[in-house]
Structures are given as structure tokens and as C-alpha cells.
Structure 1
């Protein structure tokens, strides 16, 4: 019952967020009241959550617009926003963070460093425990109650080993984004490439369209130059 109540509350918060963001976008994308700040305010009474950059895209060539889609995760439930427009500079700043946690709060305490999803819960005995694999490696296992929580973070599961977590802690102390020991997280990482194929196909198509548009402009410019040259040459021959 409590889980159902939280889910309805989260769904309502996301709906309000989308409506409010669309209203601001109607006034123009120059507003600095970023969608993620609206999410933060909407979730201010929820003590534990993660906000993950689920997807992003750019549209248009001459007057481009940029969009983010966020996944909001609590220990019990999850929900996703619609496409929300963001300023170009903010999009570029976060361009390498696909699939990563941009905003998090745990037990009322906010975290500011960008990290792989779920890492904020590692080491907390309420959510899981350390175990050893058959090679003697120590990894984190979520309890059965929260097993679904791992998959909700993006539809994938990769064991978080103790060495990974130690590296993450060092990066967090310096407030530096952590992409994993093998750079497997983020836009250039193997995990996003395996689980977010739509993002890469969109990006490839947009790049092809951009190159085709540039090629067409060059051809038109060359064509006009040739026509102008012929006209001048014809005039000299008379």
C-alpha cells in the first residue's frame, strides 16, 4: 500500500513537472530555470531518490533545440519525464553523461557529483550486502526487496565490485564525475551503447543530415559561381 501511494505521488510530481516545464518553454528556451531544478523542487519532500539522464537529443540545423529526458528513481518506484528542452550550453556540459546520475539525495542529504546509477546505495546495509564471487572478488548484492531497483535504473545489471566502489568514493571526494574503472559508463561507455541504441541511431542520422545539408550548400554555391563566371566570360567575348 505504501509503495502504491509513493508511485502515485511520484507520477503526480512528474506530471506537474512536465506541465510547468512546457509553460516555461512557451516563453522561450532562454530561461535558466532548468528542468532538473524543477525536478529537485518537486522532490524536495522525498528523502531518497536519483535523477538519471535517460536520453537526450538535438533537433534542427539552422536553429537547433536541445532536449533531455530524465528517469526519476526511488528505492520503491521509478518514472520518466517527457522530452524537456534545455539550453545549448547545459546540453553540452552534460553531453558525456548519458545513463548517469546527475542529481541524487539519500536520507535527506544531497549528492552533487555525477556517477553511475545506484552507487549511492552501495555500502548501506539496509539495501544489500557485500558478497564474494567464485574467484574471491567482493561485489555488492542488493537484497531481494530491492533487486528490482537495480533493473529500474536502466534495464541493465552489472555487479558493483568493491574496487569499483572505492574508485567511485575517491572521485566523489574530489567532486569529479566517475565513469567506471574501464570508462564503461556515460555516453562513450559500453553500457549505454548496449542499452540505448536509439540515442546513437538518432545521433548518426542527425550527423548524416548535417553533412548532406553542408554538401548541398557547397554545391549550390559552386553552381552559382560557375554561372556567374560564364556570364562574365560571355560579356567579354562580345
Structure 2
């Protein structure tokens, strides 16, 4: 996501598309990804999707059904025994491990920062059943807030450019506001000086 301009803003989205195609005659899929060009969108559309940076916005099943659930990329394939299985780490936590030939799915979906634990996956399914966006539970893993989406801890690490641009815009707005306050105070002081001078001159 990107905003341009100060007074008259333009809003842009850029989408990553991941396509799964059947491998030979099997039901397994081979995934490819593509990042498109920046596309100008309306302010309303920009605001509607503002919270979902880095998340799935829409997906299509093998039957062609389109779903608009919002969740971290790749979660829809976790738990599918065609692509991997559940393992247990040294602390007794159950996590998802892709089979060797599908290990690249972590890169395609941007899941290389951490494994998907069964607690993640269970929560994801609960949220989808309720028709709610799933942002991940950062507090479960020792961090505050959500993990994914625009306010997510993981997103801030994997998409630093967005937050750098936002910080620059915020700094510019703060500077503009500060200058306006200073100008108003200066004009007010000058008005007071003129008023006192006028009063003295009239005596």
C-alpha cells in the first residue's frame, strides 16, 4: 500500500498473486507467484483494505469458488497431508512441516519467518468459521498485539518499506502542524502589539 501527496492524496495498491496448477495427473499443486505493478485505487477501497497488509484478500478453490476471507498467506494449505505433516519440537509444540518438494511454499507465501504451530492453525480455523479476519495471536508467542496485517509484528519485519514511508508522512504532518501553530502564535502576538500601540497613540 502507498499514499502520495499531502493535501490531495493518491492511493495505490500492489498485489501479489499466487497460482496453483495441478502437477501432471495428481491432485497436488505447483505454485508460482507474481507481484504486479502499483494500481491506483479510491480512498474508500484503500481504507477498506488498510488493515490487511501482507494478508490474503481473496482466494479461489479448485472448484472455482471465490472466498473473501482475510488470513495469512499459505494457511489454507496447512493441515493438508498432500503438502506436509505435523511435527513436534523439543518443547512439545506441534508445528507444520512441508514435505521436501513443497518446502518452497514457505518462500512463495512469505512464511519463512517462523513455522505455523497447531495453535495458530486451530485459531485460524475458528476465525474463518466465524467469518472474521485472522491476524494471528502475537501474545501467545511472547509479543504484544497481532502478528499479521498492517499492525502485525511479523508484517513490520517483512515489509519495512511501508512503515518507513508512513513514518516520513507522519513526520511531515507533524512538522506542518507545528509550523501552523507557530504562525498562529506569531500572528496573535503581532495583533496584540498593534492593539496596544493603537491604544497608546489614541491618548
Question: TM-score of the superposition, structure 1-length normalised?
Answer: 0.69
Structure 2 residue 161 is the aligned partner of structure 1 residue 198 = yes
| Aligned 8 A contact 2:69 2:131 in 1 | yes
Q: Work out the CA distance in 1 between the residues paired with 2:151 and 2:38.
A: 22
Structure 2 residue 133 is the aligned partner of structure 1 residue 170 = no
Q: Which has the larger radius of gyration?
A: 2
Aligned residues: 183
Q: Work out the CA distance in 2 between the residues paired with 1:113 and 1:191.
A: 19
Unaligned runs of 5+ in 2: 21-30, 139-145
Helix, strand or coil at the partner of 1:188: coil
Q: Work out the CA distance in 2 between the residues paired with 1:146 and 1:84.
A: 31
**In structure 2, what is the equivalent of residue 92 of structure 1?**
47
Helix, strand or coil at the partner of 1:204: helix
**In structure 1, what is the equivalent of residue 94 of structure 2?**
138
Deviates most, 139-148 or 206-215: 139-148
Q: Work out the CA distance in 1 between the residues paired with 2:123 and 2:12.
A: 31
Judging changes above 3 Å, is the alpha-carbon distance between structure 1 residues 157 and 74 closer, same or farther for their aligned structure 2 residues?
A: farther
Q: Work out the CA distance in 2 between the residues paired with 1:136 and 1:232.
A: 78
**In structure 1, what is the equivalent of residue 69 of structure 2?**
113
Question: TM-score of the superposition, structure 2-length normalised?
Answer: 0.80
**In structure 2, what is the equivalent of residue 154 of structure 1?**
110
Q: Work out the CA distance in 2 between the residues paired with 1:217 and 1:136.
A: 58
Deviates most, 200-209 or 61-70: 61-70
Q: Work out the CA distance in 2 between the residues paired with 1:136 and 1:234.
A: 81
Q: CA deviation at 1:153?
A: 1.9
**In structure 1, what is the equivalent of residue 182 of structure 2?**
219
| Aligned 8 A contact 2:73 2:111 in 1 | no
| Aligned 8 A contact 1:179 1:186 in 2 | yes
Deviates most, 89-98 or 196-205: 89-98
Q: CA deviation at 1:101?
A: 0.9
Greater helix share, 1 or 2?
Answer: 1
Q: Work out the CA distance in 2 between the residues paired with 1:121 and 1:106.
A: 11
* RMSD of equivalent CA atoms: 1.9
Q: Work out the CA distance in 2 between the residues paired with 1:150 and 1:111.
A: 22
Judging changes above 3 Å, is the alpha-carbon distance between structure 1 residues 133 and 109 closer, same or farther for their aligned structure 2 residues?
A: farther
Q: Work out the CA distance in 2 between the residues paired with 1:181 and 1:229.
A: 56
Equivalent of 1:72, from 17, 21, 26? 17
